[in-house]
Structure formats: structure tokens, C-alpha cells
């Protein structure tokens, strides 16, 4: 039928899916009603990873639990590096807050942008996508979903599918020789919910990235007897406090003794594999499914979002992430503009050339600093294509660089530093209690003006915020 609205399915209502909803909502506010929208979300609320659950393994419906977040998870990067350009922290909270808020506060912020819109009406909660197929003849996708509480299944057709299902939920779980003889607790970061139970225990975290660093730090904070981080390629390399050390890869495990490849060994009570996640899309056939390692420029995606083999399908948030919410916004805005025809999709060979060019730049990345810069350039390229409000990407890159330095200086204290917003110019307010002493991650406690008198004197502004 002529002028029939395009039908769009968004899979997942985490930050990426919510941001995709926002794009259509802003277009509607501009007087357009561009598409028929459905967002399918398997959890009972939105927020994706930020929607904390105490459950691990399978949920109440026998579905794999999505979120890998834990109690006492605080932002691991400054909020000034992820702030929405069209909805500031000042606007949401009505006051300046610290640079590293806990999960509850960031969840509140993400949800806040959609709170006064009708975005929620498009989301079907507790509805899991089971299968997606593309029909060449009709050029449409068939999406089969299941309403989990009732088991009712539904098959619908769409012109476009936006995959926003995240990629930090299916653990990469390696083997270790002799691990079957280990008598302590073995788990993966995905199932970690809090470190209180690790008090007085000797913990081994396997991996040298953010989960290893932060779960190790949580255990240190909660009084672990010792924390050991085992690296495969490079050590994390911070100036760890006494009781926290790094060792190379595991050689073998014998009961409660872990032997490392440098010939040392250690008594260990609990092992947490912080070995990352797999790109896994069990609802997609192989020709539509992204695979491969977690990188800042995955193969097969034009401008990081358009599935090259079928440009009617998009991925939002599929990259490894320095930039997060602001990058998902840039991606979602571009995807919307492609769908509604505000932006033009180049031909397949042009897209392939662009992917090859960006992949070559990606292959040339040789440090954390160049990777951050690369992602900044990537976001800048997307922003040029859309009317998303501009923000100072160079300044965000510089905030990330200062953050890297802050961690080198004090890995247990970096979250007490303050940055200046690139959106409003507001300088963050120091939190009333240093991160290492703060045991309550609730929104109420965080927003209270209560001042902890034990706050140390070196607690304050970073050089970039001054
Ligand atoms: C432990 C951890 C800590 C992190 N900490 C930070 C941080 O401090 N700062 C930061 O900026 N970023 C952090 N991140 C990165 C985080 O991935 C992003 O902030 C953000 O959550 C990504 O959003 P997303 O919507 O792409 O994916 P997700 O948040 O993973 O959301 C995906 C959504 O899709 C739904 N879904 C999945 N499969 C289906 C299906 N088949 N059918 C229907 N729905 C489905 C899920 O239920 C979920 O709601 C962290 C990630 C992890 C794992
Ligand atoms: N807010 C927070 O505080 C917080 C906390 C945790 C996680 N996060 C976020 O969660 C996301 C995922 O982080 P992540 O650390 O889980 O995953 P990741 O960044 O993908 O890192 C995976 C780690 O596992 C190691 N590894 C993989 N296979 C291994 C093997 N077979 N043996 C030994 N080591 C192996 C890798 O080592 P190599 O270097 O050798 O490849 C790497 O160090 C990130 O976005 C991060 O920011 C945030």
C-alpha cells in the first residue's frame, strides 16, 4: 500500500534500544510520525545491563539472565564522558553530582530521558525474541517472539530490525588444567553479584581487563585476605595496594593450590573468570549474526551499525566501548535517519570500501590512547551525518586520557576525582564519601547531602576540571 509506514522492530530495551526509541520520539516531536515501532525486551523493565538482578544462571522463566552487573557497581569511567548531548545530568538531577555515580543513579538518568515521553508504550516487556528471518521475495523480516509469562508466541513482519541486545551476557569461559580438582568456588564475572562473601578469602581473578580490575577491587574493598589477578597477555599494571598482586597465566591447578607459568604458586579459595564475553545472538541465523572478538570496529558493519550483508538490519552498541551512551545515541540517530530516508545509504561497494578503510585504521591502533582517539573519530563521523546536538569530542577524549592517568596514580581513589561536563560546563561535585569507604550504592544515599567526616584531604578536582 502506498505511504504505508515502515515497520521497525528494536530487539532489546537496554541503553541502546532506549536510545533508538528516543530518536523516533524526537522525530515525532518534530511533527513526523515516521514508523510503526515495536521494541521487544525480555526483562520486565528497561535499562539492559543497568537493570540489576540478584539472579544468576537462568531467570524465573528459564531464560539466561542478561545483566552482569553487581551490587556496589559504580561507573568505571567519568559520567562526563558518556553524558547525553540532549539531556544533561544537571537537567535530570537538578544539581551537580559526582563524576562516578553508582549503577542506580545511572539507571535513573538513562530512564529519566524517556520518563516524560510515551517511549514505554512501544516496549513489550517479558517478551523474548526467538527467531529472525529475512524473506528475499518480500524484503521483510519475520520476527518470532515469546511472551514469557504466558508462553504465547507471535510472528510478525518488519521492514527493519535493530539489534540492540548487548554483548556482555554470554561468558567466555576458558578451561584451566586441573581445575576439576579445585575445591573452592569457581564462577564467571557474569554471575558475580557482590564481594561481601569474599571477606577473608584468597581470591583469584583471571583476566586483565575491567571486570578483573573492578571485581578484584570490590573484593579488596570488602576485606578479602588477598587478591591475585592472572593475566594472559599483559598485566593490568596499576600500583596495587598491599594484598593485591598480579601473576601471569595459570599453569595448572592442584586442589586449592594454583600454579602459574612463572613457577610460583598460591593458595586460593575462590576463582572468578573475568575473561570477557562472546558476541552471541541465538535468535539470528548465521548470515545475519555478528561474530568475532569484542573490538571497537567489528567486521561486517558499515559505519559500525549497518549489517553489510543485509542493510535493512542494524546493530546498535555492538562495539567494545570507551564512549557508551553518547556513542549509542550517535549510532541510533544515524540508523533512524537511514530508516526514514533523511540519510542516504551508499551502494554495497562504497560501503565495503568504507568498512575496509576503518578496519585498516582499527588494525593500526597500538595503544589505549589511540584506541580512544579512534572511537572519538568514529563518533564524530556519525555525528556529521545527523542532527544530534554537537558536543566537544576532543574534550571527551581528553577526559578519557586524564581518567587513564588518574587510575595510574591511584586505582582505589580514581572514582573520587571530579570532571567538568562538556554539555553544561558544570564541574562535578565531590561525593560525600570516598568510593573505598562507601558501602551503600543506593540512589537515596548517593543524592543525600550527608557528609562523611572521614573524607580525606586529597579528595577533589582533576587537573582538567580546574
Ligand atoms: C559488568 C558491566 C559493567 C559495565 N559498566 C559500565 C560503566 O560503568 N559505564 C558504562 O558506560 N558502561 C558500562 N558497561 C557497558 C554496558 O554494556 C553499556 O553501558 C550498556 O549497558 C550497553 O547497552 P546495550 O543496550 O547495548 O546493551 P545491554 O545493556 O546489554 O541491553 C541489551 C538488552 O537487550 C535485551 N535482550 C537481549 N536478548 C534479547 C532477546 N532475545 N529478546 C529480547 N530482548 C533481549 C536484554 O534483556 C537487555 O535489556 C558495563 C558492562 C558490564 C557488563
Ligand atoms: N563499571 C564497572 O566498574 C565495570 C566493571 C566490570 C566490567 N565493566 C565493563 O564490562 C565490559 C566487559 O569487560 P570485561 O573485562 O568483562 O571483558 P573484556 O574487556 O573483553 O576483557 C576480557 C579479558 O579476558 C582475558 N581473557 C580472555 N580469554 C582468556 C583466557 N583464555 N585466559 C586468560 N585470560 C583471558 C583478556 O585477556 P587478553 O588481554 O589476553 O585478551 C581480557 O583481559 C567492559 O565494557 C567494561 O567496561 C565495567
User: In the chain, what are the domains?
Assistant: 6-46+114-169+277-391 (3.50.50.60), 179-273 (3.50.50.60)
Average pLDDT of span 80-99 = 97
Q: Which residues line ligand 2 (CB under 6 A)?
A: 73, 75-76, 168, 172, 174, 189, 206-211, 214, 232-233, 274-276, 294, 321
| Residue bearing the CA closest to ligand 1, atom 4 | 69
| Residue bearing the CA closest to ligand 2, atom 6 | 211
Ligand 2 centroid distance, CA of 225 (Å): 23
Residue 4 has pLDDT above 90, yes or no: no
Distance separating alpha carbons of residues 109 and 91, to the nearest angstrom? 10
What is the average pLDDT value for the chain, to the nearest integer?
Answer: 94
| Residue bearing the CA closest to ligand 2, atom 17 | 276
Q: Does ligand 1 come within 6 angstroms of the Cβ of 275?
A: no
| Residue bearing the CA closest to ligand 2, atom 22 | 276
Residue 462 has pLDDT above 80, yes or no: no
Please give the pLDDT value at position 28: 76
pLDDT digits (tens, 9 = 90+) for 127-142: 999 999 999 999 999 9
Q: Return the C-alpha cell found at 128.
A: 523474548
Please give the pLDDT value at position 26: 84
Residue 465 has pLDDT above 50, yes or no: no
Residue 34 has pLDDT above 80, yes or no: no
Ligand 2 centroid distance, CA of 168 (Å): 10
| Residue bearing the CA closest to ligand 2, atom 9 | 210
pLDDT digits (tens, 9 = 90+) for 305-353: 999 999 999 999 999 999 999 999 999 999 999 999 999 999 999 999 9
- Per-residue pLDDT band for 455 (boundaries 50, 70, 90) equals very low
Please give the pLDDT value at position 457: 33
Ligand 2 centroid distance, CA of 206 (Å): 9
Ligand 2 centroid distance, CA of 412 (Å): 19
pLDDT digits (tens, 9 = 90+) for 12-32: 999 999 999 999 988 877 777
Closest atom of ligand 1 relative to the 49 alpha carbon: 29
Ligand 2 centroid distance, CA of 213 (Å): 9
Contact present, 161 and 141 (Cβ < 8 Å): yes
Closest atom of ligand 1 relative to the 277 alpha carbon: 53
Q: Does ligand 1 come within 6 angstroms of the Cβ of 66?
A: yes
What does the angle CA 274 – CA 443 – CA 457 come to, to the nearest 5 degrees?
80
HSE (side-chain half, CA atoms, 13 Å) at 463: 9
pLDDT digits (tens, 9 = 90+) for 160-213: 999 999 999 999 999 999 999 999 999 999 999 999 999 999 999 999 999 999
Give CA separation, 123 vs 115, 186, 411, in Å. 13, 37, 39
* pTM score of the predicted model: 0.95
pLDDT digits (tens, 9 = 90+) for 252-278: 999 999 999 999 999 999 999 999 999
Distance separating alpha carbons of residues 230 and 245, to the nearest angstrom? 9
Residue 466 has pLDDT above 90, yes or no: no
**Which ligand has the nearest atom to the CA of 176?**
2
Q: Does ligand 1 come within 6 angstroms of the Cβ of 165?
A: yes
Average pLDDT of span 1-6 = 68
Please give the pLDDT value at position 414: 98
| Residue bearing the CA closest to ligand 1, atom 12 | 324
Q: Does ligand 1 come within 6 angstroms of the Cβ of 326?
A: no
Closest atom of ligand 1 relative to the 12 alpha carbon: 34
Beta strands per DSSP E along 12-159: 35-40, 123-124, 127-135, 140-147, 152-158
Average pLDDT of span 405-433 = 97
Task: Give the DSSP letter of residue 234.
Answer: S
| Residue bearing the CA closest to ligand 2, atom 43 | 208
Residue 100 has pLDDT above 60, yes or no: yes
Contacts of 94 by beta carbon, 8 Å cutoff, 6+ apart? none
Ligand 2 centroid distance, CA of 129 (Å): 27
Q: Does ligand 1 come within 6 angstroms of the Cβ of 164?
A: yes
Residue 447 has pLDDT above 50, yes or no: yes
Please give the pLDDT value at position 449: 80
Average pLDDT of span 359-386 = 97
Please give the pLDDT value at position 254: 98
Ligand 1 centroid distance, CA of 66 (Å): 8
Q: Does ligand 1 come within 6 angstroms of the Cβ of 329?
A: no
Ligand 2 centroid distance, CA of 207 (Å): 6
Closest atom of ligand 2 relative to the 77 alpha carbon: 1
Of all residues in the chain, the percent with pLDDT exceeding 90 is 92
What does the angle CA 442 – CA 445 – CA 450 come to, to the nearest 5 degrees?
165
pLDDT digits (tens, 9 = 90+) for 218-240: 999 999 999 999 999 999 999 99
Of 295, 298, 303, 300, nearest to 320 (Cα)? 295
Ligand 2 centroid distance, CA of 432 (Å): 30
Query: SS3 of 332, please?
Result: helix
Q: Could you identify the residue written with the cell 564475553?
A: 277
Amino acid at each position: 500500500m502506498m505511504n504505508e509506514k515502515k515497520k521497525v522492530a528494536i530487539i532489546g530495551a537496554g541503553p541502546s534500544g532506549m536510545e533508538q526509541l528516543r530518536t523516533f520520539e524526537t522525530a515525532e516531536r518534530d511533527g513526523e510520525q515516521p514508523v510503526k515501532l515495536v521494541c521487544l525486551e525480555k526483562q520486565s523493565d528497561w535499562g539492559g545491563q543497568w537493570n540489576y538482578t540478584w539472579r544468576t544462571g537462568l531467570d524465573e522463566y528459564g531464560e539466561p539472565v542478561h545483566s552482569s552487573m553487581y551490587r556496589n557497581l559504580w561507573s568505571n569511567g567519568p559520567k562526563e564522558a558518556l553524558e547525553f548531548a540532549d539531556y544533561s545530568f544537571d537537567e535530570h538531577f537538578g544539581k551537580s553530582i559526582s563524576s562516578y555515580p553508582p549503577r542506580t543513579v545511572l539507571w535513573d538518568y538513562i530512564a529519566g530521558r524517556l520518563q516524560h515521553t510515551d517511549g514505554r508504550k512501544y516496549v513489550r516487556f517479558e517478551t523474548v525474541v526467538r527467531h529472525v528471518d529475512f524473506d528475499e521475495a518480500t524484503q521483510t523480516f519475520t520476527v518470532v517472539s515469546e511472551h514469557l509469562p504466558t508462553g504465547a508466541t507471535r510472528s510478525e513482519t518488519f521492514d527493519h530490525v535493530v539489534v540492540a541486545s548487548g554483548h556482555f551476557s554470554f561468558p567466555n569461559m576458558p578451561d584451566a588444567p586441573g581445575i576439576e580438582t579445585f575445591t573452592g568456588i569457581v564462577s564467571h564475572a557474569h554471575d558475580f553479584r557482590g564481594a561481601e562473601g569474599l571477606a577473608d578469602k584468597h581470591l583469584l581473578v583471571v583476566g586483565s581487563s575491567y571486570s578483573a580490575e573492578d571485581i578484584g577491587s570490590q573484593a579488596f574493598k570488602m576485606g578479602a585476605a588477598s587478591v591475585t589477578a592472572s593475566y594472559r597477555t599483559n598485566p593490568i599494571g596499576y600500583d596495587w595496594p598491599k594484598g593485591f598482586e598480579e601473576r601471569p597465566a595459570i599453569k595448572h591447578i592442584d586442589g586449592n593450590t594454583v600454579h602459574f607459568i612463572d613457577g610460583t604458586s598460591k593458595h586460593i579459595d575462590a576463582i572468578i573468570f573475568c575473561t570477557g564475553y562472546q558476541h552471541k545472538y541465538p535468535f539470528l541465523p548465521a548470515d545475519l549474526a555478528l561474530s568475532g572478538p569484542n573490538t571497537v570496529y567489528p567486521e561486517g558493519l558499515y559505519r559500525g551499525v549497518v549489517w553489510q550483508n543485509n542493510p535493512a538490519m542494524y546493530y546498535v552498541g555492538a562495539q567494545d566501548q570507551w564512549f557508551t551512551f553518547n556513542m549509542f545515541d550517535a549510532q541510533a540517530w544515524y540508523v533512524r535517519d537511514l530508516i526514514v530516508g533523511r540519510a542516504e545509504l551508499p551502494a554495497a561497494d562504497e560501503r565495503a570500501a568504507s568498512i575496509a578503510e576503518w578496519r585498516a585504521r582499527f588494525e593500526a591502533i597500538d595503544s589505549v590512547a589511540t584506541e580512544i582517539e579512534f572511537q572519538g573519530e568514529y563518533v564524530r563521523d556519525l555525528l556529521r551525518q545527523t542532527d544530534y546536538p554537537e558536543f566537544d569530542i576532543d574534550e571527551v577524549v581528553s577526559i578519557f586520557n586524564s581518567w587513564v592517568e588518574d587510575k595510574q596514580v591511584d586505582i582505589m581513589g580514581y572514582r573520587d576525582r571530579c570532571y567538568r561536563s562538556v554539555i553544561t560546563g558544570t564541574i562535578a561535585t565531590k561525593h560525600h564519601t570516598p568510593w573505598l569507604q562507601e558501602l551503600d550504592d543506593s540512589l537515596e544515599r548517593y543524592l543525600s547531602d550527608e557528609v562523611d567526616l572521614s573524607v580525606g584531604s586529597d579528595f577533589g578536582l582533576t587537573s582538567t576540571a580546574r
